[in-house]
């Protein structure tokens, strides 16, 4: 099956710093990337949907100025957590593809101290 990678796989940062997470589709073109967040012992919650070359659509309650999403190419989308705080500590997962064919990235564990 198709492969989606995320980098870094885990990151620890200080409160107030920004963290960039990359999601790459390695062997297919992902016109749509979805970003999810999973808190411990909870389900995946959709944060935003991005289409290549256009602005991301954020779910209700997700701050677009805090979670910057860029989908500049068909193989790369980035999520930047700006001015991270401990409550942003979570597991961030990208989903590349579309409604009928989608592939998850392995996820990025973010810990904000």
Partner 1 sequence: AQSVSQHNHHVILSEAASLELGCNYSYGGTVNLFWYVQYPGQHLQLLLKYFSGDPLVKGIKGFEAEFIKSKFSFNLRKPSVQWSDTAEYFCAVTPRALTFGSGTRLQVQP
Q: Which residues bind partner 1 (CB under 8 A)?
A: 34, 36, 42-46, 49, 93, 95, 99-100, 102, 104-107
CB of 28 to partner 1, least distance (A): 16
Judged by CB, which is closer to partner 1: 15, or 26?
26
Q: Give which of 64, 90, 103, 95 is closest to 77, Cα–Cα.
A: 95
Judged by CB, which is closer to partner 1: 16, or 98?
98
Instruction: Using alpha carbons only, give the angle 95, 76, 12 rounded to the nearest 5 degrees.
Output: 75
Burial of 82 (0-12, 13-18, 19+ CB in 10 A): middle
**What is the C-alpha to C-alpha distance for residues 34 and 10, in angstroms, rounded to an integer?**
19
Judged by CB, which is closer to partner 1: 45, or 68?
45
CB of 66 to partner 1, least distance (A): 20
Judged by CB, which is closer to partner 1: 20, or 59?
59
CB of 15 to partner 1, least distance (A): 26
SS3 1: coil
CB of 1 to partner 1, least distance (A): 9
- Residue appearing with tokens 């990337």: 33
């Amino acid at each position: 099956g198709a492969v989606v990678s995320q980098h870094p796989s885990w990151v620890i940062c200080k409160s107030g710093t920004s963290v960039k997470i990359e999601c790459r589709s390695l062997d297919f073109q992902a016109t749509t990337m979805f970003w999810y967040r999973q808190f411990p012992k909870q389900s995946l919650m959709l944060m935003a949907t991005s289409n290549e070359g256009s602005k991301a659509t954020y779910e209700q309650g997700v701050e677009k100025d805090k979670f910057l999403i860029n989908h500049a190419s068909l193989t790369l989308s980035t999520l930047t957590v700006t001015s991270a705080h401990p409550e942003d500590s979570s597991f961030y997962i990208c989903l590349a593809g579309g409604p009928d064919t989608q592939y998850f990235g392995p996820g990025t564990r973010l810990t904000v101290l």
